[in-house]
Amino acid sequence: MRADLHERLTQLDAQRAEADRLRQESQQMKDDAELWENSALQQYRDAEDAERRKREAEEAESSRKEAEETFHKYDSNSDGFVDISELQTRSLFDKDRNGEVSIEEATFFLAENNQLPLEDFVERAWPLIKPYLMIGENVFRPPATPELDDMHQAEAEEDSEDHSEHHEDEGNEEESEDEELNENEEETTEEQESGEEHTQPTPQYDEETQRLVNTATDARNHFAQAEKAVRDLDSEIEKVKGMLDKDYGPQEEFATLAGQCLEYNDREYIYKLCPFEKATQQPKNGGGDTNLGTWSEWVGGEDKYSAMMYSNGISCWNGPDRSTRVNINCGLENRITSVSEPNRCEYVFELETPAACIDNEIEASNGRSSHDEL
Ligand code: MAN
């Protein structure tokens, strides 16, 4: 038994060394593959960044252009300022829809000024005006009732007139960035291109990059498998070591009890003993197992191997942790012959096993070696 376990352990150690070698090898392959993958993907990230910066610059430029055009359109007397009276001629600014643009309404769109020159207009008035223009254009759709929306549409001033209904169906905010403010001659292909960029799905890599990504993915999977193989061997090794650590008797005679469980039924409970593991108690009228202790040591005193102790079971209410003493007796088969609880939460099992007969027979034979007996 012990020799078998040692042999098994030797095998496992060798397997583990090999598994560890494979793990290191696959880690190296993974690291290499990821380097290649990363540098290929970096080119895509760089290109995306550049694309984004370009788009942002274009958007800023286009917004600026739109703001300037609006300024010149509103500055009807061309004195270099947009003032309250100029805004009052435009129904777009009639926020309360009472049919006229009040001074307060016009002032609001001039960021509380009487008039603004170009730069200030772009910086301060434009952010207030643009959303209203977008509503007028049916591009920007705030959450509103349909009726209200119709009102916006109907009353929005001439700026919206060149935008036909199909925009509403598309309802695509991104288009706004490229929408021309008023004149329809500039509805360009630029707009469509830009729109497409925005909606581009996940990137498609070129063949070589895709190959590198696939290789890295495979390498990651291999590495994960190699790691698992090592972990599995480690836990197997722990198990065997645990078995080797246990004392199965001077001649391993009690090893035959390991790895099996024996039951005993009394009126109230089903008791279970898994030698060298644990003892449990399960109420017959339902409920889970109660741990009565896990394998601890031999406690037979002078005849050390005549009793086992299982300790540190579930603690007893207002009492000690449950523990179980198993008295071992010679018998024809492995079986529990009785269970008692002489003190609360301290259990005693009587176990019969042929393994306990060896010593007796040795004693009886008085002088014959155990080897002869076996
Ligand atoms: C449960 C069982 C008994 C034990 C009591 C102590 O009913 O485990 O064996 O005596 O708890 O409260």
- The per-residue pLDDT for range 202-261, each reduced to its tens digit, is 668 899 999 999 999 999 999 999 999 999 999 999 989 988 889 999 988 998 998 899
- Any atom of ligand 1 within 6 Å of the Cβ of 316: yes
The pLDDT score that the predictor gives to residue 371 is 42
What pLDDT was estimated at residue 169? 43
C-beta separation of 253 from 49 below 8 A: no
- Residue-wise pLDDT for 137-169, tens only, equals 655 555 555 444 444 444 444 444 444 444 444
* pLDDT(125) > 90: yes
pLDDT given at position 147: 47
Q: Residue 345 Cα, ligand 1 centroid: separation in angstroms? A: 6
Q: Is the Cβ atom of 344 under 6 angstroms away from ligand 1?
A: yes
Going by pLDDT thresholds of 50, 70 and 90, the confidence category of residue 134 is confident
Rounded to the nearest angstrom, the distance between the alpha carbon of 341 and the centre of ligand 1 is 9
Collect all residues with Cβ–Cβ distance below 8 Å to 87 and sequence separation of at least 6.
74, 93, 101, 105, 106, 109, 110
CA angle 36, 40, 42 (to 5 degrees): 115
Q: Tokens 């793990």 belong to which residue?
A: 23
194: Cβ below 6 Å to ligand 1?
no
pTM: predicted TM-score of the whole model, two decimal places: 0.51
* pLDDT of amino acid 333: 96
Q: Is the pLDDT of residue 359 over 90?
A: no
Instruction: Check if 216 has its Cβ closer than 6 Å to any atom of ligand 1.
Output: no
Nearest-angstrom CA–CA distance, 282 and 273: 12
